[in-house]
Amino acid sequence: MKNINKMSRREILKKGTLGATGVAAATLLGSNTLAAQQENGKVFTSQITAKTAFITGGARGIGLAAAEELAKAGINIVLFDIATEDIPHVGYKLSSESDLVDAKKKIESLNVKCLAIKGDVRNIDDLKNAMQKTVDTFGSLDILVANAGVTQVGAIEEFSPQEIDVVYDINVAGIIKTTQAAAPFMKQQKSGRMVFLSSALGRMGNELFPVYASTKWAIIGFAKSAALTYGKDNIMCNVVAPGLVRTKLADNPYVLGKMMPNNPDSTFDGISETLKPGNPIPVGHLEPEDVAKAIALFTSDATNKVTGEVFDVSYGSLSRSIA
């Protein structure tokens, strides 16, 4: 096999930013990009990097991990995040402005360009302005990771109308608005990748997360509809459905306290240990990087002709579900 480090820059450009064999190639080409940048001490980033990814909820967690994974493949990144810790009717803190600034620095340290944009997926103008800025700055919008989301825990009758509204406005209407804002650019380009974040709870019922679970089912229905709509424009629309992931969405006092009400000292690792024995592989949770690799797969050449699919990244727990 040809040594990738010995590939000429012309070959790299011809091949594009992602190679032919999915994540492994993407990662390999990422390091190759760095090698090329270091060639003769010159920086070639702008010549090599032809692609741009727009990631909602990119200031931390799965969104930031996806940004890092794609940046390693030489892809320029736009991090779009509400960057406001406290919003009404959400029981835990979202990202702060400094989280978003730190995330941008992290991405830039990977030798790609990064825009950090504060905005709310509930606001179509925020999204349209941010996408326009993306294309004005980088020339294209190739990858959308519709990832921003919030969770809620409790029994069905506990939720106030405002709590129901906020999770639907962000998780469902927010994803639809994000798609509406991105699609015109991708249609014009006649290419694009949209990756939607659902959840293992979008594949089954759950009495502790009934409202959240229903939003995650809705995302799959919408993503499949987007796949039908945009296939003719060469835009692939797929879903990643993770199990429990170590992020601040799950690892916070509000969620942990509701998941284990009889244990005031409940921790994320404690819940992970409790879940482990019930899973086919002895894993109770994922790290954000595990999910990022699946997201990257749906942006790679390996999935050129794959659309409307759901990728369960759930340590085998979905093996018990119907197909």
Ligand X SMILES: NC(=O)c1ccc[n+]([C@@H]2O[C@H](COP(=O)([O-])OP(=O)(O)OC[C@H]3O[C@@H](n4cnc5c(N)ncnc54)[C@H](O)[C@@H]3O)[C@@H](O)[C@H]2O)c1
Task: Give the binding site for ligand X (CB under 6 A).
Answer: 56-57, 59-63, 81-82, 94-95, 120-122, 147-151, 170, 174, 197, 199, 242, 244-245, 247-250
Q: Which is nearer to ligand X, 29 or 62 (CB)?
A: 62
Half-sphere CA count of 68, side-chain side, radius 13 A? 18
> What's the CA gap between 23 and 265, in Å, rounded?
38
Q: Which is nearer to ligand X, 12 or 121 (CB)?
A: 121
Least CB distance to ligand X at residue 211 (A)? 12
Asked if 133 contacts 181 with a C-beta cutoff of 8 angstroms, the reply is no
Instruction: Give the angle subtended at the CA of 320 by the CAs of 315 and 323, to the nearest 5°.
Output: 100
Start-to-end CA distance of the chain, whole Å, equals 37
> What's the CA gap between 79 and 73, in Å, rounded?
16
Q: What tokens does 193 get?
A: 């990748």
Least CB distance to ligand X at residue 287 (A)? 10
Q: Which is nearer to ligand X, 60 or 193 (CB)?
A: 60
The bridge status of strand 192-197 relative to strand 235-242 is parallel
Q: Which is nearer to ligand X, 60 or 224 (CB)?
A: 60
Least CB distance to ligand X at residue 145 (A)? 9
Least CB distance to ligand X at residue 105 (A)? 15
Q: Which is nearer to ligand X, 18 or 241 (CB)?
A: 241
Asked if 309 contacts 238 with a C-beta cutoff of 8 angstroms, the reply is yes
> What's the CA gap between 183 and 198, in Å, rounded?
19
Q: Which is nearer to ligand X, 58 or 192 (CB)?
A: 58
Q: Which is nearer to ligand X, 121 or 236 (CB)?
A: 121
Asked if 95 contacts 73 with a C-beta cutoff of 8 angstroms, the reply is no
Place of tokens 């930031």: 64
Least CB distance to ligand X at residue 129 (A)? 13
Asked if 79 contacts 115 with a C-beta cutoff of 8 angstroms, the reply is yes
Asked if 207 contacts 192 with a C-beta cutoff of 8 angstroms, the reply is no
Least CB distance to ligand X at residue 111 (A)? 23
Least CB distance to ligand X at residue 216 (A)? 7
